[in-house]
Amino acid sequence: SIVFSLVLFDRIRHKDYDLLRNPLDWAILAYAGAYLLSLIGAVYPGDAIYGFLKALNYFMVYWVVTRVASSYNLVREMLKFLLAGGLAVAVIGILAALGYSNYPNAYDNGVINSTLQYSNTMAAYLSVTLLIGVTLLQQEKMLWLKVMYCLANFLMAVAILGALSKGAWLILVGGALLLLMGMPGVYRLKSVYYIGLAIGTVVMIYSRFAAAIAAADPNQALFYLGLGVLLAVIGVIVWEGLEKLWRSQRLAPVIITVIFAVSAVVGVFYFGSQVLQSNDVVREVTSLLDIEDSSYVARIEFMRCAVEIVKDHPIIGTGAGGWEALYRQYQNYSYWTSETHNHFLQVWVEAGTIGLLTFLSMWIILLFYVFKVYKVKRKDEDTRHWILTWGIASGALALGAHVTIDFDLSFPAMCMVLWALFALVNSLYSESITEYQIPTKNKSAFARMQVGLAGILVILLLVSGIKYIYAFYLVSRGDQALFAASQETAINEQLELMNQASVNYYRATKYDPNNSYYWASLSTVYANFFSLLYEQGLPRAQEIRQHTIESIERAADLRSYDIKNMDILIHNTDLIGHMPGFLKLGQLSLKASPNDPMVYKNTANMWWEASQQSQEAGQEEMSLEFANHVLLVEKSLQDQIARVDIEHPYWVGSRLQVDEELQMIFEEAAEYLKQAKR
């Protein structure tokens, strides 16, 4: 928000009053608008608000990049920054694999995750930046920069192979082929060479490099890594020689092309045999051909669930977080995932058909811009703009292909990268098409409206950011006070610390009122506060109990399909002995996780115990109500068993069944109701 404000101020200072210049600007803002509209039907209001603010943040990233990188040379500079980011991610992952970095989970169980913490997304990101590296090489004049780009590509290729992500490997291959298809003349051959240099060098050393890491021998691994670096440098020098030969002799292009063709055939067989010496790589490659592999089966099921959710929320969607909230109700078998593994469907679920259309329009406009640049620059015989435009577009399209099978764009960093690529293509398009080169320099009503809209966006994001950061700070203080209270033995000190915790949590809910976790934390401290006051016979106990009930209800309403949240709230309800709360929370638990047998057992136990306690307290009507609900648990369980495939081979967790303990509860409840009717 602050950076956006500074760039906006600079544009106004230069009498550029256009916030939105062309269709892509409008489409990306409309994407954020679709998430704003989804707040109307949001399943998780807090998540939906965050989702809108993230989409708005991505628009600001896009807009800033379009205004800062507004020319060919500035676009190249921006690509260098993106390449440097990819190199940093690769180096951190490799250092973690070597044991020289303690970055959390950057290397885990033989897989490089690096800073993104998820190997598939990291490999997809590095595949995009590798394509950027190859693009930058095309017209680079300085030898030392060519060497740097090649070294970056080599290291990123090491991390990509070390991620053991077959999906990302396919995207790299597909993106490389796409890049080659659009490269003109000798630049296609040059692209083949540098892509082959990066991948071929890695393949030559990877099996030995991976074996050294597995054997916890970092010195040996470093040796093979250094060998790869040396080969990459030699590769640059070889190309420089080939390029001079190409220009100096008439037959040289034919000779070099034949050499390339022969080398490619030999390289495929040689490098293939080298990389297949790694068992991990062999396993990933083999699974590519297995359509019954769990990753294929699961993704098809995720997509089916997404379409079913869309049918129930077709226009404006469920709001961000809607998939995570609802997917369990649509499952054919039990599994756990927080993402759809297809961003197009994720957007459709969260922002409805309106959101999906805006997202699709971004890609359609991107392709249109690429086509326009191609037409204009082919006429002008200007290959510079086209090479850069096509290289960026290839990276964006490769990432776009990968997000159809994974959840890369659930990472804000990945969205920022993709939106930045959109912005760079937009800048090259705007520079190529003359009618978009001249910004509005007069303060028309429309120009004033755009500046006003920009001001509103800045205030919205800035104020929201400050509020949420301060709320998080208050919650951290509340957590500290609550922990200190748990370690304290003196009652007065415990009460004082509990009071401090409750004040901080309460203030946090004022700054971020739609955060269910803050309300749940407040209910926890209130419930424990009540227990202490009640044990001491202090008069404020009933007042605190009422505050606890209100906090529990608010937390349940904000995140009613979160089973972990429900467990916390049920525990707090039990602490204060609020019997009616058991009914609502039990019903929400059954709806939140209908394929978890423990939810049925826990809910049946809770309601049967509540029925017995109510009977002992002389509350016959409430006791009967709980007993009736126990039998409803039995019906819900039987209905769910009939609806899903409990024998599915990829069922995660315990399968649904009525075990002896649960059957006994059902029989006791039925007998009690039978006797009550007499």
Quick: pLDDT tens for 343-395.
999 999 999 999 999 999 999 999 999 999 998 877 767 788 999 999 999 99
For residues 572 and 524, the answer to whether their CB atoms sit within 8 Å is yes
Q: Which two tokens stand for residue 198?
A: 């990066």
Last residue of a domain, one of 272, 289, 306: 289
Same domain, 402 and 333: yes
The answer to whether position 100 is within a domain reads yes
Same domain, 144 and 98: yes
Same domain, 256 and 299: no
Nearest to 4 by CA among 61, 55, 77, 69: 61
pTM higher than 0.85: yes
Same domain, 270 and 143: yes
Sign, Cα dihedral of 145, 149, 152, 154: negative
For residue 398, the SS3 value is helix
The answer to whether position 16 is within a domain reads no
The label of the residue with tokens 């973690």 reads 96
Same domain, 281 and 297: no
* Distance of alpha carbon 361 from alpha carbon 25, whole angstroms: 11
Type and span of the H or E element at 539: none
Last residue of a domain, one of 400, 420, 438: 438
> Quick one: pLDDT at residue 168?
87
CB atoms within 10 A of CB 588: 22
* Distance of alpha carbon 253 from alpha carbon 262, whole angstroms: 14
The answer to whether position 321 is within a domain reads yes
Task: Give per-residue pLDDT as tens, 505-550.
Answer: 999 999 999 999 999 999 999 999 899 888 888 888 899 999 999 9
Q: What angle do CA 118, 76, 424 make, to 5 degrees?
A: 65
Rounded alpha-carbon distances, angstroms, from residue 29 to 26, 52, 355, 361: 5, 11, 11, 11
All residues at 6 or more sequence positions from 469 whose CB lies less than 8 Å from its CB, including other chains: none
For residues 624 and 593, the answer to whether their CB atoms sit within 8 Å is no
* Distance of alpha carbon 27 from alpha carbon 37, whole angstroms: 15
Q: Which two tokens stand for residue 375?
A: 């037409």
Range of the structural domain that residue 665 is part of = 608-678
The answer to whether position 362 is within a domain reads yes
* Distance of alpha carbon 233 from alpha carbon 226, whole angstroms: 11
Q: In sequence order, what E strands does 326-381 have?
A: none
Same domain, 276 and 330: no
* Distance of alpha carbon 160 from alpha carbon 168, whole angstroms: 8
Same domain, 276 and 195: yes
Q: Which two tokens stand for residue 195?
A: 């892509």
* Distance of alpha carbon 198 from alpha carbon 85, whole angstroms: 18
The label of the residue with tokens 């490098």 reads 271
The answer to whether position 176 is within a domain reads yes
Tally of structural domains, the chain: 3
Type and span of the H or E element at 108: strand 107-108
For residues 394 and 182, the answer to whether their CB atoms sit within 8 Å is yes
Same domain, 345 and 265: no
The answer to whether position 223 is within a domain reads yes
Same domain, 197 and 305: no
- What DSSP state is assigned to residue 70? -
Same domain, 111 and 251: yes
Measure CA 377 to chain center. Answer: 36
Q: Give Rg (Cα) of the chain.
A: 30
The answer to whether position 517 is within a domain reads no
For residues 45 and 387, the answer to whether their CB atoms sit within 8 Å is no
Sign, Cα dihedral of 67, 68, 73, 78: negative
Same domain, 281 and 405: no
Nearest to 353 by CA among 401, 302, 309: 309
* Distance of alpha carbon 154 from alpha carbon 137, whole angstroms: 13
The answer to whether position 10 is within a domain reads no
Last residue of a domain, one of 438, 461, 477: 438
For residues 69 and 392, the answer to whether their CB atoms sit within 8 Å is no
For residues 332 and 396, the answer to whether their CB atoms sit within 8 Å is no
The ranges of the chain with pLDDT < 70 are 246-293, 380, 434-443, 678
Q: Which two tokens stand for residue 2?
A: 């602050």
Same domain, 220 and 253: yes
